[in-house]
């Protein structure tokens, strides 16, 4: 998988950069897919300092995002966006692989 398989929107990159700046040098955002949630799979976001050798690394501006190899197929072709609307501010994954998702947007099914 190449970095082009998962993209980060400009809004998400800006927000991730702001978050990582407060975490200190070497901080990166890890996005992973886990079993669970109301639709079968859920997205997980963690700040991390360790990069595995086989991680997919996506860098945009001051944002560095890691995706583990097991999660890459679930996220292929996805865009990570940051939305700030009436419901609240959150990261949203626009995932073409998801056949259904829950109302909160954090879980999905394939």
pLDDT at 102: 57
For residue 98, tell me if it sits in a domain: yes
For residue 110, tell me if it sits in a domain: no
For residue 109, tell me if it sits in a domain: no
Asked whether the beta carbons of 38 and 102 are under 8 A apart, the reply is: yes
pLDDT at 40: 78
For residue 76, tell me if it sits in a domain: yes
pTM (global) more than 0.85: no
Six token digits for residue 41: 């799979």
pLDDT at 37: 66
For residue 86, tell me if it sits in a domain: yes
CATH of the domain at 75: 2.60.300.12
Residues of the chain with pLDDT under 50: 1, 3-4
What is the count of structural domains for the chain? 1
Residue numbers of the domain that contains 53: 3-102
Asked whether the beta carbons of 96 and 79 are under 8 A apart, the reply is: no
């Amino acid at each position: 998988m190449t970095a082009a398989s998962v993209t980060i929107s400009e809004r998400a990159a800006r927000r991730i950069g702001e978050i990582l700046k407060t975490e200190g040098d070497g901080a990166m955002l890890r996005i992973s897919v886990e079993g669970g949630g109301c639709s079968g799979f859920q997205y997980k976001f963690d700040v991390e300092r360790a990069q595995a050798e086989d991680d997919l690394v996506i860098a945009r501006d001051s944002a560095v995002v890691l995706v583990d190899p097991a999660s890459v197929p679930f996220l292929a072709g996805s865009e990570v966006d940051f939305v700030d609307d009436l419901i609240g501010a959150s990261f949203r994954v626009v995932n073409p692989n998801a056949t259904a998702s829950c109302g909160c947007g954090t879980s999905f099914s394939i």
